[in-house]
Structure 1
Amino acid sequence: MTEVEAIIKTVLKTGGYRLGSKSTLKSLQKGEAKAVIVASNCPEDVLEKIKSYDVKILVYDGTNMELGALCGKPFSVAAMAVTEEI
């Protein structure tokens, strides 16, 4: 298990996250996000918006479908905000 996968599993248990590009960007705008995890194939426009904020960005080695599956969701997840200290 990679460090990013371990962080994902931890925040999934504690509930300190927001899934999806729109929710991630909202968390960034509100200053709630402590870090952002993006899938390896996160759309470039979304990644550029995330990079415009002063936040730690972690790249998950898998695709957005694999990130969604890791989060227990039947849909793709390109980005997720971590709203607690990691």
Structure 2
Amino acid sequence: MKSGKCAIGLRQTLRLLRRGGARLIIISNNAPPLRKTEIEYYAMLSKTGVHHYNGSNRDLGTACGKYFRVSTLAIEDPGMSYLVVSLSFSCRGLRYHQDSTT
């Protein structure tokens, strides 16, 4: 999370989804079910991909480099990361493979 822009938390994620600026939404596995369905609904309306993180909100916060729990994360600009490309391909059943020879 050194490059790019992201929104952490439910309110910022919903605000970014309503604006249509989110490229990918990441939800932890222990987020409240009502919040999950609300985020998935807004993501469906804005045609944004949703990835269900296979870890708790503590794990997602640690993965973001934060010292607090993060249940939802919206990526607005991936920066130098291939995360959005690889997760969007894996969500569709395709595999993203970066060739090491190029």
User: TM tier, shorter chain?
Assistant: 0.7 to 0.9
Q: Structure 1 unaligned runs (5+)?
A: 1-11
Pairing 1:20–2:13 present: no
SS at match of 1:47: helix
Answer 1 or 2: which has greater helix percent.
1
Offset, 1:78: 0.4
How many residues are aligned here? 75
Q: Structure 2 unaligned runs (5+)?
A: 79-83, 85-102
Query: How many percent identity over aligned positions?
Result: 32
Q: Which runs of 4+ in 1 moved over 6 A?
A: none
User: Residue type matched to 2:5 in 1?
Assistant: G
TM-score, normalising length from structure 2?
0.67
Greater Cα radius of gyration, structure 1 or 2:
2
What's the RMSD between the two structures over aligned residues? 1.3
Matches within 5 A, 1:1-86: 12-53=1-42, 54=44, 55-84=48-77, 86=84
TM-score, normalising length from structure 1?
0.78
